[in-house]
Structure 1
Amino acid sequence: MAKSDQTTPPTLSRTPLFELSVAQKARMTEFSGWEMPVQYEGLKQEHQQVRTSVGMFDISHMGKFYLKGSDLISELEYLVSSSLSNLQPGQAQYTVLLNPQGGIIDDIIFYYQGKNSEGLDQGIMIVNAGTATKDKNWLNQHLKSELSDRSLDRVLIAVQGPEAVNKLQSLVEEDLSDLPAFGHITTTIASAEAFIARTGYTGEDGFEIMLPPESGQNLWRSLLSAGVTPCGLGARDTLRLEAAMALYGQDLDETITPLEAGLNWLVHLDTKGDFIGRDKLEAQKSEGVSRRLVGLVMEGRQIARHDYPLLYQDKVVGKVTSGTLSPTLNKAIALAYLPTPLSKIGQEIQVEIRGKTYPAKVVKKPFYRKAAIIW
């Protein structure tokens, strides 16, 4: 019998909330090896709910590392561009893991939980789904501290929007209005221990809640009953792009440094010692970068998509990293890398779309800020 030319497609992972999303008639898509909801009732409706009220996202596919060790903070500081030594228990830092060339291995959030009963520092690191295995190997290669990978046995739900506090508060005893941005607590939801952080990826106020699978399913049902709109990856992408939040694998990768990506505020050269990639960043700080991540607004209705070429005086000078039609602004927006001389606000550029060129302009980032449309 002749061998079949067909190959069996790889099995996609599913989160503990998968069946609940299917029950809500979500349209599913592949994302970083996971079968995830891309939309429920519709991208625009979900986007608008987060901007004006509240929505929730299943983000259980993300990597979840529990860390502890006597020298945890100093060990982590050697791997990231930011200072972590001033973090107090209940505080968090968004930062980037770097390679020796100063390139971004991943962008992560580290939540510091203080010392445990043994006097060891504890923390939780949330990483991107597509880089979780790479990140874990990199961390284990450099850390003496203990890393426990809880990626598959923890649900992670993002509740985002101006009404996020009101919707979540009835389920939590602690006063969530007292929790500052990037603050976090360990508390109880539905008789289960839950980690709650005031962080998100939408440009709105909100929380990310991590808890065991069955408890996560119960929380999802409770939020549905409370009128919280389930939202998919489609709305998550348009929301984060309006807020000019970078997506790893498109706007960030191992060839791009945080200074090129406009993440200067994460590079703490003056307040920390040696770290991987420091030499490269010091040189860029001194000499300047040759390219920058900029925001673009299209002059017309055409949409600049990922990888579309950018031209100036008929020469290709860069490419779009992320692009969409903004539901809030009703304009086509994009992120892209341009040579530094062409990165000034107001600079006009051309985007090649299906063999034709269309005008765009460099604008200030973000495109949208909470309660304020920038463009």
Structure 2
Amino acid sequence: MSASLLRTPLYELAIAHKGRMVPFSGWEMAVQFSSVLQEHQAVRQRVGMFDISHMGKFVLEGAGLIQQLQTLVPSDLSRLQRGQAQYTVLLNELGGIVDDLIVYYQGSWNGNDRVQLIVNAATTDKDKTWLLNHLSGDIVLKDVSRSQALIAVQGPQAVQTLQQVVDEDLSAVKRFGHIQGTVLGHPGFLARTGYTGEDGFEVMVDVETGQKLWRSLLELGVTPCGLGARDTLRLEAAMALYGQDIDDMTSPLEAGLSWLVHFDKATDFTARPVIERQKEQGIPRRLVGLQLEGRNIARHNYPVLHQGDPVGVVTSGTLSPTLGYPIALAYVPATLSKVGQALNVEIRGKYFPATVVKRPFYKSPYLA
């Protein structure tokens, strides 16, 4: 493994639990501990945990912060109340996605707004530069990416399990809500968000507390999970992976994220005219869900064909552990994006049938 790869505060604990390490976005991360299938099923049926300390973590504070952030994202952040969060995207001037992120609004004191941002690991530096270049005045951005551990506890038993090490009543926190709480006697940030399609919390604490929390959760029977299960879980829930399903050249309308674009908000935002024109004139391509037959897995960059002609490309694909058949995300012409549309995917020189299906592929019965 390259010595230049970064390591999270939980790296040694992952090694001790026989995590198989791989390079990921400049970090040395566990791809699995037991098996992808066992870890996937643990999250769907019980509770699993992920070390996501590699994610970018920013604390922003200052007068007029929300108003300034309003110009950088298409979502209406003014709707947020203290303790609420919004999944959204940073847009560039062409309407492309700089990154997808979650904005956690922590309130306003003496005219100063305070916001926690969680961004992708691979884009942390890019996002930081983008924000600093577009925010003005007395806005302060504190990068706590390296000083804080971040653990995702996910699954139908996540809340009741995590409650054993948290003082506050977690059942009172609504989906996409967050609190400043007490974790193992220490201050922590707890958000009822995640990237698995299941209920659960993402917990941010100082490094030492994070290490204690990981050990405590192991003792409580929580299954440690790696990047492999994280990918199969998020794909079943049709959650986009930045740099693969969405990027700087993808608009939210193309990516099926039109629900993030609040055209009724009064504030202009970057590329608003571009996005409005796309809405009025239509978009040439869409990200769709595909279901394949048998065990023929469509991988990233595999061609999608219609009547023998290449028309699109697969962005993500796997054999769904929960559903038992192959699923994929792919960009295809908008004219071929309706549910039920028959297509083909080229896999190792052969064509295999694929059908456009509704997303997400899987909805958890534990999420209302």
**TM-score category by the smaller chain?**
over 0.9
> Per the alignment, in what secondary structure is the counterpart of residue 330 of structure 2?
strand
Match of 1:130 among 98, 122, 129: 122
Unaligned 5+ residue runs, structure 1?
A: 1-7
CA distance in 1, matches of 2:240, 2:61: 28
Q: What is the percentage of aligned positions where both structures have the same residue?
A: 63
The residue that corresponds to 1:280 in the other structure is: 274
CA RMSD of aligned residues (A): 1.2
CA distance in 1, matches of 2:231, 2:288: 17
The residue that corresponds to 2:157 in the other structure is: 163
Whether the 8 Å contact between 2:168 and 2:182 is mirrored in structure 1 is no
Q: CA deviation at 1:10?
A: 5.8
Unaligned 5+ residue runs, structure 2?
A: none
**Within-5 A mapping of 1:346-361:** 346-361=340-355
The residue that corresponds to 1:264 in the other structure is: 258
Q: CA deviation at 1:329?
A: 0.5
CA distance in 1, matches of 2:178, 2:295: 41
TM-score by length of 2: 0.98
Q: CA deviation at 1:86?
A: 1.5
The residue that corresponds to 1:119 in the other structure is: 111
The Cα offsets for residues 14-57 of structure 1, whole Å up to 9 and x where unpaired, read as 00000000000000111000000000011000000000000000
Q: CA deviation at 1:172?
A: 1.4
TM-score by length of 1: 0.96
The Cα offsets for residues 288-310 of structure 1, whole Å up to 9 and x where unpaired, read as 11111000000222100000001
Letter in 1 for 2:127: D
Letter in 2 for 1:100: E
**Within-5 A mapping of 1:181-192:** 181-192=175-186
Question: Does 2:43 correspond to 1:89?
Answer: no
The residue that corresponds to 1:243 in the other structure is: 237
Match of 2:337 among 343, 356, 374: 343
CA distance in 2, matches of 1:356, 1:77: 47
Q: CA deviation at 1:191?
A: 2.3
CA distance in 1, matches of 2:309, 2:29: 39
The residue that corresponds to 1:22 in the other structure is: 15
> Per the alignment, in what secondary structure is the counterpart of residue 85 of structure 1?
helix
TM-aligned CA distance change 1:49 to 1:17, over 3 Å: same
> Per the alignment, in what secondary structure is the counterpart of residue 233 of structure 2?
helix
Letter in 1 for 2:62: G
Letter in 1 for 2:171: S
Letter in 1 for 2:48: G
Letter in 1 for 2:207: P
Q: CA deviation at 1:330?
A: 0.7
Question: Does 2:294 correspond to 1:300?
Answer: yes
> Per the alignment, in what secondary structure is the counterpart of residue 296 of structure 2?
coil
Q: Which consecutive segments of 4 or more residues in structure 1 shift more than 4 A?
A: none
The residue that corresponds to 1:46 in the other structure is: 39
Letter in 1 for 2:179: I
The residue that corresponds to 1:55 in the other structure is: 48
